[in-house]
A and B are shown apart, each in its own frame.
Chain A
Amino acid sequence: MKKDKATRRRERKARREAKRQLRILERESPITAAPASGERDTIAAAFEAEDTGLATAPARSRLPLVPAGPARWEIPQGARPGMRVPARLYADQALLQDIAEDAALEQLANVATLPGIVGHALAMPDIHWGYGFPVGGVAATRVDDGVISPGGIGFDICCGVRLLRSDLTLAELERGGRRERLADALARAIPAGVGEGGTTTVRQLDRLLAEGARWAVAEGYGWERDLECIESHGTFPGADPDAVSARARQRGAGQCGSMGGGNHFCEVQVVETVYEPQLAAAMGLAEGMVCVFLHTGSRGLGHQVCQDYLALMQGAMRRYGIQVPDRQLACVPVRSPEGQRYLGAMAAAANFAWANRQLLTHQVRQAFSRVFGRPAERLGLDLVYDVSHNLAKLETHVVDGRPQLLCVHRKGATRAFPAGHPELPARYRAQDCPQPVLIPGDMGRYSYVAVGTEAAMRETFGSICHGAGRVLSRGEAKRRLGTVNIAALLAERGILVRAGDPRALAEEASEAYKDVADVVDTAERAGLARKVARLRPLIVVKG
């Protein structure tokens, strides 16, 4: 569409302003472009009522939940002022209890107020309270006139999971004390935890931010054929390294090739159960096979990008006349200069995450190679898939009978495209295999490989759950389990743990998480997902 001179002038001016704002953020004394303290709109007031911040614990949800089908519930559009669409929650009765205990549903209703949102504000069975957007949510907005909101992606941009298969069986791993040696080798090879840097300092950060996993492979980390099995081939189109602030680069520079702490992990697992033999075979999986799950994201760089743009957008929002019930839902129109700049920065952060997982994959393969005395190629350590659960993607979906270009925000939710989708690797398309979805459980329990269904494509913009979801806060978990020797208990069950800080294991114990089986079963009952395989942990490496 041709633009007239006036429009082009306005847009140039807005772009300059956005650049100016970003430079302000980068100065020594950081200035956040936040709205004045006193500013509260009527929607915010309606939502927060007598809430005085942390003084009161999140109240039990009082929102109406209307049954809307098997494992489906709806919060009607009229339930709260400002909702533009209804909200939909996928959960069964048992999960509902936990979900209604915190303010996740209120947050879901807040998401439904975003300008340009279509369909429903969606919540997966693993939904829990987050900041602004709940974790385990999907929100799609029209690209033409809708908004992009960094909170709908999360701080850990492109946090995701990658699965490697192998030619090794459990028996081969058990032979000659190899399991212990592999645990030690992995712990040494993978920097993890609070305050830990990466294996590689990156002088040429620009190339990494522009090319992601492709950069890593070009530098000798991993194999060319890995790229095909990464979402977006490991390179997010439209990445704009210039949109990543100096602060974000400083945080990221020393961290590429590191795992981080918290719920990030590297696990060696064995395929325990195969539910769909044909799909499992197409993915290169079989019962008794040793596999590796890797879970990490964009480290400090992604966190800083989210932080920078939340601040930027809070100021810019006023100019676009957008009001949101929660400051953390800061957003701007997708097509605005600020929106485009965030998308460029987000894409660069995603590239950082994919490069990070590619570097870690290289470390993992080297560790296996040293222990088994053969090159990783001869161990068959191939990539099954790498997919993120904190990302926004521009995708075309059918809404109201016609295809529309949407900005699909997935925070704690995984893209799950059906068989034959053009985004999928050629070898999966050839075998009529849908996109693999990797769903990690907590470290004491199993993980799943699943696929999305056509119903998911229709109802949830091709999205399903991402993991177990916490039920206990870190503090509560430490209180209940702090004195328990978690590593010893897991060792009794045949799981070797190598943790940088053993005392932090309590926070990651099974008791602190929902049972991922419930989450995945619910998604299956709702017709959104099909289980392909279940994997059991053998070695856990954590920060």
Chain B
Amino acid sequence: MADQAAGFETVDHTAEVGLRAWGPDLAAAFVQAARGLFSLLVPLERVQPVRQREFAIAAEDLEGLLVAWLEELLFVFETERLVFADFTVSRPSRTALQAWAWGEPFDPARHRGGVAVKAVTYHRLAVVEGPPARVEVILDV
């Protein structure tokens, strides 16, 4: 996926999906993780950036921050039916980050084809600051 410097990939587990994302720094890795999450839900290339959303996430530690970030995105997807394909994450500290996401309302005609991601798990959670930064998380599907 994407170029070598920043990207994401999904890793097969029997009943769950593993998501691995990387980038030159944590912010980039968190961006790729968000893209990776939505790539499971909808075909990314079909998402138009017509709406912008701002996020402020806080957690007790870096790993919790990754979980909280992805959880919030999943929550907004489920409750507001918004899908995002582009993100900017401002330099995240160990316990907080600000982010902007661009996307549009979920359209069954264009956005079908995804996996129902139910939750972000703590299993085998990993956040490596690097640089380069690397994050790994397992999603319940």
Contacts and interface: CB of A to CB of B under 8 A. Distances in A.
Interface of A: 28-37, 51-55, 58, 102, 128-132, 135, 155-156, 193-196, 247, 250-251, 254, 260-262, 300, 303-304, 306-307, 310-311, 314-315, 326-328, 330, 470-476, 500-501, 503-504, 507, 543
A102 B16 CA distance: 13
B44 interface: no
Contacts of A307: 71, 119-120
Interface in B11-34: 11-18, 20
A131 B140 contact: yes
Contacts of A31: 58-60, 68
Contacts of B12: 473-476
B81 to A, nearest CB: 6
Given A131-B16, A475-B17, A260 B116 contact: yes
Given A54-B136, A262-B141, A474 B17 contact: yes
Interface stretch (B45-53, B72-80, B84-92): B72-80
Interface residues of B, number: 52
Given A262-B116, A473-B17, 12 more contacts: A35-B60, A128-B14, A131-B122, A132-B122, A135-B15, A155-B119, A195-B77, A303-B140, A304-B119, A470-B14, A474-B141, A475-B10
A254 B115 contact: no
Contacts of B15: 128-130, 135, 470, 473
A310 B64 CA distance: 12
A471 to B, nearest CB: 7
A195 B13 contact: no
Contacts of B61: 34-37
A53 B124 contact: yes
A247 B58 CA distance: 16
A247 B14 CA distance: 29
B130 interface: no
A408 B136 CA distance: 32
Given A32-B67, A129-B15, A473-B12, A261 B112 contact: no
14 contacts: A34-B61, A34-B122, A37-B63, A102-B13, A130-B16, A196-B108, A303-B140, A307-B119, A326-B123, A328-B123, A472-B14, A473-B12, A475-B12, A500-B112
A155 B118 contact: yes
A303 B59 CA distance: 19
A30 B58 contact: yes
B100 interface: no
Contact of B116 (A304, A306, A330, A543): A543
A471 B119 contact: no
Nearest to A129: B14
B6 interface: no
A54 B58 contact: no
Most interface-central of B41, B72, B115, B126 (chain A CB within 10 A): B115
B73 to A, nearest CB: 11
Complex A-B, nearest 8 residue pairs according to Cβ-Cβ distance, in ascending order = A473-B12, A261-B116, A34-B64, A131-B123, A53-B126, A32-B64, A131-B121, A475-B12
B5 interface: no
B76 to A, nearest CB: 10
Contact of B13 (A129, A196, A314, A500): A129
A503 B113 contact: yes
B60 A33 contact: yes
A392 to B, nearest CB: 18
Nearest to A263: B15
Given A31-B58, A31-B59, A194-B41, A327 B125 contact: yes
Nearest to B11: A54
A135 B138 CA distance: 15
Contacts of A195: 41, 77, 81, 106, 108, 111, 114
Nearest to B112: A501
Contacts of A473: 12-15, 17
A503 B79 CA distance: 25
A30 B14 contact: no
A96 to B, nearest CB: 16
A196 to B, nearest CB: 8
A68 B41 CA distance: 44
B72 to A, nearest CB: 6
Contacts of B41: 194-195
Contacts of B13: 58, 102, 129, 473
Nearest to A250: B79
Given A262-B115, A307-B119, A327-B125, A32 B108 contact: no
A216 B13 CA distance: 37
Contacts of A254: 79
Given A131-B121, A193-B116, A310-B122, A54 B20 contact: yes
Which of B15, B18, B113, B114 has the most C-beta atoms of chain A within 10 angstroms of its own C-beta? B15
A300 B78 CA distance: 8
B15 to A, nearest CB: 5
A91 B32 CA distance: 41
A326 B62 CA distance: 17
A155 B41 CA distance: 18
B22 to A, nearest CB: 12
A194 B112 contact: yes
B110 to A, nearest CB: 11
A299 to B, nearest CB: 9
Contacts of A30: 57-59, 68, 71-72
A500 B14 CA distance: 23
A316 B77 CA distance: 29
B118 A131 contact: no
Nearest to B118: A303
Nearest to A412: B15
A194 B79 contact: no
A306 B120 CA distance: 10
Nearest to A327: B122
Contacts of B58: 29-31
Given A31-B58, A34-B61, A475-B17, A251 B122 contact: no
Which one of B12, B118, B141 has the greatest number of beta carbons of chain A within 10 Å?
B118
Contacts of A128: 14-15
A152 B141 CA distance: 17
Nearest to A326: B123
A156 B118 contact: yes
